[in-house]
Chain A
Amino acid sequence: SQQGEEDPQALSIQEGENATMNCSYKTSINNLQWYRQNSGRGLVHLILIRSNEREKHSGRLRVTLDTSKKSSSLLITASRAADTASYFCATGLTGGGNKLTFGTGTQLKVEL
C-alpha cells in the first residue's frame, strides 16, 4: 500500500507560473523527500526535509512540512517547460526498518 497521497493527481500551468503540489501521509516519519521523474526515466532526488524542520528551500523549490497534519507541500516558483514531469513524495518511516515509501505522484505539465 502507498504511504503518501499526492494532490492534485495532475496539474497544468503556463510557463512562469508557480506550481504547488501536496502530499499527505499516514504514519510517523523520520523525514519526507520529494523526487522528480521524467517520462521513462529514473527518479531524481530534489529535496529532503527532516521531521523537526518546517520549511526548506533549494533554488526554485520550497518545501513545507506539517507533522501535526501529516502533510507536506512542494512549491516550484517561476516554472519552466523543463519542469514537466511527475513529482513524488517519499517518506522515511520511523522504526520498521526505516523504509522509504512513495506516494502516488502528481503529473505536472508546464506549457509554453
Chain B
Amino acid sequence: EAGVAQSPRYKIIEKRQSVAFWCNPISGHATLYWYQQILGQGPKLLIQFQNNGVVDDSQLPKDRFSAERLKGVDSTLKIQPAKLEDSAVYLCASSFGTGGRTEAFFGQGTRLTVV
C-alpha cells in the first residue's frame, strides 16, 4: 500500500514570497490533515478535511495560509506571503475513518525555510 506522498521535501524561499505544498493521501482515506511542526515542538493542526469539506481550520492563519482539497483526494497548502516564523516542517496525514477516531498515516513532510 502506497503511503502519504508529499512534495517538495525541502523548500527555501525569501520572506514575502509565496509557496505551495502538495499532498496525496492514501487511497480511500476520507480525512486529510495538515500540521505545522516548528523545531522542538509538537505538530500543530492547521486544517482538517473530511472528504472535500473543512472540519476544522481554527488555527490556520487565514490572512496568509490557504488550503484546498479538490475532489476529496489531493490537497494543496499555500502560504502567501511567507514570514520568517513560517519556517517549519509541514506534515500531511490521512486516516480512513472520521478524523481523530482512527490512526493517522503521515507523509515525510516538507521542510520550509524562510530567509
Using a CB–CB cutoff of 8 Å, the interface residues on chain A facing chain B are 2, 4, 30-31, 33, 35, 41-45, 48, 88, 90-93, 96-105
Expressed in whole angstroms, the minimum distance between the Cβ of B38 and any Cβ of chain A is 11
Could you pull out 13 A-B pairs where Cβ atoms are within 8 angstroms?
A33-B104, A41-B108, A42-B106, A42-B107, A42-B108, A42-B109, A92-B100, A96-B56, A98-B99, A100-B33, A100-B100, A101-B45, A102-B42
B93 contact set on A, CB distance < 8 A: 43, 100
Are A99 and B55 neighbours in the complex by a CB distance under 8 Å?
yes
Are A98 and B45 neighbours in the complex by a CB distance under 8 Å?
no
Q: B14 an interface residue at 8 Å Cβ cutoff?
A: no
Within 8 A of A (CB), among B51-79: 55-56
B41 contact set on A, CB distance < 8 A: 104-105
Are B105 and A97 neighbours in the complex by a CB distance under 8 Å?
no
**Closest partner residue, chain B, to A100 (CB atom):** B100
Using a CB–CB cutoff of 8 Å, the interface residues on chain B facing chain A are 4, 33, 35, 41-45, 48, 50, 55-56, 91, 93, 95, 98-109
A93 contact set on B, CB distance < 8 A: 100
Expressed in whole angstroms, the minimum distance between the Cβ of B100 and any Cβ of chain A is 3
**Most chain B CB neighbours (cut-off 10 Å) among A35, A44, A102:** A102
In the complex, what distance in Å separates the CA atom of A93 from the CA atom of B106?
A: 19
Q: How many A-B residue pairs have CB under 8 A?
A: 74
Are B43 and A88 neighbours in the complex by a CB distance under 8 Å?
yes
Are B45 and A100 neighbours in the complex by a CB distance under 8 Å?
yes
Name the one of B35, B56, B104, B108 contacting A45, with C-beta atoms under 8 angstroms.
Answer: B104
**Most chain B CB neighbours (cut-off 10 Å) among A90, A93, A96, A98:** A98
**Closest partner residue, chain A, to B108 (CB atom):** A42
B43 contact set on A, CB distance < 8 A: 43, 88, 102
B107 contact set on A, CB distance < 8 A: 42
A105 contact set on B, CB distance < 8 A: 41-42
